[in-house]
């Protein structure tokens, strides 16, 4: 049920994601401002992930957080169609990301509760596969819509509201399992930081490496802007993003099954190596077929990292604090994304896209080295 909810939500969100940078540029946003907008929205979401993850564990509840989180994301879609005023666009994007922040820790804790230690990665992989299937269907529908109604972006925002509503409806079919209430005191916005101080060494080592990577891994918006800069049409750009999500969806579950058998670290390292190749490749060539190959590799990279990292985190954290563990990681990750995206926009603006992608590839090599020499 959680996978179906994610499928419909991502169908709605990903109808808009590849269109957003095009839309924002069409209403006068610069690359620097786009990077800042995405980064701030993600940082706000990140802080809420830490807070609401901790609150979910404290209250011993999951479903209300999941339900409200998906509801806010659904509401944000039609808001984008109301106005092109920058502050309003920022508000709509923030509501969408806040919804993600509210639901993430509780949802991942529910997924973890349905798995054993030996099946954790494939459970998260299955959810990711369904989630990303929505990210394949959504842009496909957006592509079809824009073929018949070119540049009618605001109407598309209204269309994206429908699958979002379907997702919210499905959350009412979720059943709450009894959870242990771990504290009665109120939870402050930054109380999740205390979890970092009290967490075990393995958690700190793993999350430190993941956050190091997050500091250099800017928003995927910059990949799409690179395609646009290289002369690809809107249809080709969205097509590349659809292809990426198709690969991601098809590989996510097999990658999870592989990680359960082969090991989380080895699978994650394969993903990071592919990321290095993709970003290095983006700085070397600008042909359409080359971009197609890179987006194939990028889909495999995503399948080998995101759900694997979360499964690994839930395996080394205490069961009653699963939402806090995931929320703490994703909170710090989103703050790092703010820095990475704002920095990427500044580097692109000052030194150009080629330098940005090449530098990112080099720095990712350091992340790979960290995981190779660190025992977790």
- pLDDT tens for 40-93 read 776 777 778 888 888 888 888 899 999 999 999 888 878 876 776 777 777 887
Quote the pLDDT of residue 202: 93
Query: Does residue 63 contact residue 175 with C-beta atoms inside 8 Å?
Result: yes
SS3 62: coil
Exposure string of 304-341, with b = 16+ CB inside 10 Å and e = fewer, is bbbbbbbbbbbbbbeeebbbbbbbbbbbbbbbbbbebb
Cα angle for residues 296, 301, 304 (degrees, 5° grid): 130
d(CA 225, CA 354): 12
Q: Name which of 24, 47, 27, 41 is nearest 219 in CA terms.
A: 41
d(CA 316, CA 314): 6
Cβ neighbourhood burial of 231 (10 Å; 0-12, 13-18, 19+): exposed
d(CA 309, CA 160): 29
Q: How many CA atoms lie within 13 A of 85 on its CB side?
A: 6
Residue 183 confidence (pLDDT) above 60: no
Quote the pLDDT of residue 185: 54
> pLDDT tens digit string along 133-158?
988 888 788 878 877 887 777 788 78
Quote the pLDDT of residue 161: 84
Give the range among 198-202, 300-304, 317-321 with minimum mean pLDDT. 317-321
The predicted model gives 205-232 an average pLDDT of: 88
Residue 184 confidence (pLDDT) above 60: no
Quote the pLDDT of residue 181: 59
Quote the pLDDT of residue 359: 93
Quote the pLDDT of residue 172: 93
**Greatest alpha-carbon span in the chain:** 58
Which domains does the chain possess? 2-173+195-373 (1.20.1250.20)
């Amino acid at each position: 049920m959680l996978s179906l909810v994610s499928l419909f939500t991502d169908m709605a969100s990903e109808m808009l994601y590849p269109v957003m940078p095009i839309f924002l540029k069409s209403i006068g946003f610069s690359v620097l401002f786009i990077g800042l907008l995405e980064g701030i929205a993600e940082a706000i979401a990140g802080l809420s992930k830490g807070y609401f993850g901790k609150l979910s564990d404290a209250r011993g509840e999951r479903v209300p957080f999941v339900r409200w989180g998906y509801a806010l994301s659904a509401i944000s879609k039609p808001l984008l169609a109301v106005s092109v005023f920058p502050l309003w666009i920022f508000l709509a994007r923030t509501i969408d990301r806040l919804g993600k922040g509210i639901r993430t820790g509780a949802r991942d804790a529910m997924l973890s509760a349905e798995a054993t230690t030996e099946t954790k990665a494939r459970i998260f992989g299955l959810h990711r596969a369904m989630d990303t299937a929505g990210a394949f269907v959504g842009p496909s529908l957006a592509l079809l819509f824009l073929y018949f109604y070119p540049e009618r972006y605001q109407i598309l925002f209204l269309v994206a509201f429908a699958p979002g509503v379907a997702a919210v409806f499905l959350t009412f079919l979720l059943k709450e399992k009894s959870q242990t209430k771990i504290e009665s005191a109120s939870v402050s916005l930054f109380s999740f930081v205390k979890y970092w101080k009290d967490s075990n060494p393995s958690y700190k080592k793993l999350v430190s490496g993941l956050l190091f990577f997050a500091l250099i891994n800017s928003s995927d918006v910059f990949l799409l802007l690179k395609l646009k800069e290289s002369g690809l049409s809107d249809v080709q750009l969205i097509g590349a993003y659809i292809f990426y999500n198709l690969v991601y969806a098809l590989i996510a579950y097999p990658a999870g099954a592989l990680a359960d058998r082969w090991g989380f670290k080895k699978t994650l390292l394969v993903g990071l190596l592919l990321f290095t190749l993709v970003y290095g490749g983006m700085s070397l060539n600008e042909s359409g077929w080359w971009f197609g190959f890179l987006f194939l590799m990028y889909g495999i990279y995503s399948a080998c990292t995101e759900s694997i990292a979360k499964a690994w985190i839930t395996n080394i954290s205490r069961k009653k604090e699963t939402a806090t563990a995931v929320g703490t990681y994703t909170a710090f990750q989103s703050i790092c994304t703010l820095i990475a995206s704002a920095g990427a926009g500044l580097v692109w603006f000052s030194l150009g896209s080629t330098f940005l992608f090449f530098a990112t590839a080099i720095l990712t090599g350091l992340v790979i080295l960290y995981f190779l020499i660190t025992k977790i």
